């Protein structure tokens, strides 16, 4: 079961946008710390308590702990290190600040009204001289890597305070970055429509590979090697037709250079598709020669972030903001071009190959992916598994207006939470126990999504350690159907993954549609979705003080013919 609700507290000054959030890593079921960063230039620390005995997201309580005020512009990303002792924050002011919890409460000068429960002090400060959109910690907490508006990827040594690497391989803003939990790869995603994957090796200070610069005096340094620049691949179209490159594929200088000049509204670049299904990168053999197709949205995508993610065991890399081009024929037999919003999935040893599969059918562009830090026991009732793993992992995908939760065992979403916010979703973060998911939005509010053991029973920490240590870097090359195993077809072969359809499709809920079967369009089995859920409403919140909760009311906000109401659906 899953439940979702918007937490009706005032998070940041004047209801400024919340661009980022991160839970402090902890295996404890006690109330964890949550850090948020927003358009008011502040970082705030909270303690989040969720109900343990009942599945009621609206009963979540949030306690204000502290405000961190050193940034002078909007805060785009906050991330606790894997140990949970340090907090890294980055902003449009180009600063990266490393914070640690202070021994005593220190009142900021000029802010005597803060009801501080704790204080954080600056341990290290780095200046990149460019807006920072995303950052990630190395698994040993020794380094942080950042993606910036000047198209660069930088790696800093947290202990020495020096810049170790400066990579300039991207041609546009770097909007997402993720460090492999096994400390072997670094992945970056940019508005230039590309994914870069770097192999990290240890070496002595000196001249590094092309695009890198070593700036530390340390004798041993990280040497990054660009493994793959993934931007355009020979991906067959789902109905067997392949598209020629068009002028739309080329980069155009249309994305604003200032945050205040960009209005955050869902993009209309892609045609809406009913729902989400897993498919491999090919569906039907085409008689024509393969053509090159772009895998990701151009810089015209109305989002500051493309937050990609490695799985907690390092076996998978999921990238948002993908597009799948489809060739269609109109009534007058003219070729037309349409798009599906996509999340592409890569395997650890397959970065030099096309994605092993992708998730498509999202109605709006995807902007973030986040894995639960927990590993879960396999569901014995699922007869066909997506990947041959001895456990399953749960992850969330955020589109501009919804959050869908999946696992790696089955090929359909576990839940959909839609209309939680009036404005674009910006970030996701899971609690350490994998039970709570926080969603942030540019409207200035956060939502919480709770899941129960019905969707997944977490494996103990000891069992998780055994699994992750035994995990290899070999590609996941088989599908467990419950009876036998078969190889995943080579990406150049045409195939799809088929899934059983639910028998009952009588339930109807607002704005939820099922995929229509159309054998003439595709060979892939369509997925009929049965929805179980309810519609709830939330209120509009006025002026605030940090952490003050307001009484919930019923207040719908209409926009043209759309009525915004929050609902969560279970599949």
Query: Coil, helix or strand for 468?
Result: helix
* Whole-number average pLDDT of the chain: 73
List beta partners, residue 326: 338
Q: Which residues make beta-bridge pairs with 399?
A: 366
Are the CB atoms for 161 and 177 separated by under 8 Å?
no
Rounded Cα distance, 462 and 288, in Å: 52
Number of domains in the chain: 1
Q: In 3D, which of 235, 215, 246, 224 has the Cα closest to residue 169?
A: 224
pLDDT value at residue 318:
97
For the record, the structure tokens of 459 come out as 């494996």
Q: Which of the pair, 307 or 236, is modelled with greater confidence?
A: 307
What's the confidence (pLDDT) of residue 181? 96
Which segment of 93-97, 306-310, 566-570 scores lowest on mean pLDDT? Answer: 566-570
- DSSP letters of 236-247? --TTS--PPP-G
In a domain, 503, yes or no: yes
By residue range, what is the domain housing residue 371?
Answer: 2-253+263-570
pLDDT single digits (tens) 157-195: 999 999 999 999 999 999 999 999 999 999 999 999 999
pLDDT tens profile 442-452: 999 999 999 88
Measure the CA–CA gap between 127 and 131, rounded to whole angstroms.
10
pLDDT band at 215 (very low <50, low <70, confident <90, very high): very low
Model confidence at 148, pLDDT cuts 50, 70, 90, reads: very high
258 within a domain of the structure (yes/no): no
**Residue 435 domain-assigned?**
yes
Quote the CA–CA distance of 226 and 467 in Å, as a whole number.
28
| 59-70 confidence digits (pLDDT tens) | 889 999 999 999
Q: Can you spell out the DSSP letters for 176-244? A: EEEE-TTSSEEEEEETTS-EEEEEEEEEESS--STT-------SEEEEEEEEEEESEE----TTS--PP
In this prediction, residue 350 has a pLDDT band, given cuts at 50, 70 and 90, of confident
With cut-offs at 50, 70 and 90, classify the pLDDT of residue 29.
low
Look at the chain and count its residues. Answer: 571
Report d(CA 338, CA 326) in Å as an integer: 5
Report the pLDDT averaged over residues 287-293.
Answer: 59
- Closest of 323, 269, 318, 272 to residue 296, by C-alpha: 323
CATH number of the domain to which 236 belongs: 2.130.10.10
């Amino acid at each position: 079961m899953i439940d979702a609700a918007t937490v009706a507290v005032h998070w940041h000054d004047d209801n400024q946008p919340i661009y980022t959030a991160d839970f402090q890593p902890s295996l404890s079921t006690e109330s964890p710390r949550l850090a948020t960063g927003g358009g008011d230039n502040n970082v705030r620390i909270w303690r989040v308590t969720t109900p343990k005995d009942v599945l009621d997201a609206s009963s979540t309580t949030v306690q204000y702990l502290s405000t961190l005020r050193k940034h002078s512009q909007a805060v785009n990303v906050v991330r606790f290190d894997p140990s949970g002792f340090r907090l890294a924050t980055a902003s449009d002011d180009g600063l990266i600040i490393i914070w640690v919890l202070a021994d005593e409460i220190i009142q900021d000068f000029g802010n005597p009204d803060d009801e501080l429960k704790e204080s954080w002090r600056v341990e290290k400060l780095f200046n990149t001289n460019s807006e920072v959109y995303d950052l990630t910690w190395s698994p040993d907490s020794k380094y942080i890597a950042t993606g910036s508006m000047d198209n660069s990827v930088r790696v800093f040594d947290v202990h020495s305070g020096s810049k170790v690497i400066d990579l300039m391989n991207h041609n546009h803003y770097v909007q997402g970055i993720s460090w492999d939990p096994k400390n072997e790869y670094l992945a970056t995603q940019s508005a230039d429509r590309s994914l870069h994957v770097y192999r990290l090796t240890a070496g002595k200070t000196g001249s590094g590979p092309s695009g890198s610069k070593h700036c530390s005096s340390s004798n041993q340094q990280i040497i990054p090697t660009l493994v793959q620049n993934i931007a355009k691949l020979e991906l067959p179209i789902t109905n067997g037709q392949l598209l020629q490159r068009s002028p739309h594929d080329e980069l155009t200088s249309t994305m604003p250079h200032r945050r205040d000049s960009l209005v955050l509204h869902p993009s209309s670049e892609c045609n809406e598709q009913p729902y989400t299904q897993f498919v491999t990168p090919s569906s039907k053999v085409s008689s024509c020669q393969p053509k090159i197709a772009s895998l990701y949205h151009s810089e015209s995508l109305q989002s500051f972030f493309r937050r990609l993610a490695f799985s907690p065991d390092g076996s998978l890399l999921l990238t948002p903001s993908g597009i799948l081009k489809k060739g269609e024929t109109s009534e007058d037999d003219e070729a037309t071009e349409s798009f599906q919003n996509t999340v592409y999935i890569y395997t650890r040893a397959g970065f030099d190959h096309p994605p092993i599969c992708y998730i498509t059918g999202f109605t709006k562009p995807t902007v973030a992916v986040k894995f639960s830090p927990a590993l879960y026991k396999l569901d014995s009732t699922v007869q066909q598994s997506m990947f041959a793993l001895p456990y399953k992992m749960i992850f969330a995908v955020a589109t501009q207006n919804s959050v869908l939760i999946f696992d790696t065992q089955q090929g359909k979403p576990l839940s959909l939470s839609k209309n939680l916010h009036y404005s674009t979703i910006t970030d996701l973060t899971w609690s350490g126990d994998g039970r709570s998911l926080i969603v942030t939005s540019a409207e200035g509010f956060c939502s919480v999504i709770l899941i129960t053991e019905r969707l997944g029973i977490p494996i103990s920490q000891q069992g998780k350690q055994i699994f992750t240590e035994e995990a290899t870097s070999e590609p996941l090359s088989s599908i467990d159907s419950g009876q036998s195993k078969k190889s995943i077809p080579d990406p150049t072969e045409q195939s799809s993954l088929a899934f059983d359809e639910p028998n009952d499709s009588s339930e109807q809920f607002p704005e939820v549609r099922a995929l229509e079967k159309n054998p003439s369009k595709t060979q892939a089995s369509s997925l009929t979705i049965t929805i179980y859920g309810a519609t709830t409403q939330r209120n509009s919140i006025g002026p605030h003080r940090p952490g003050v909760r307001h009484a919930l009311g019923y207040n719908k906000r209409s926009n043209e013919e759309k009525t915004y109401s929050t609902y969560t659906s279970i599949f």
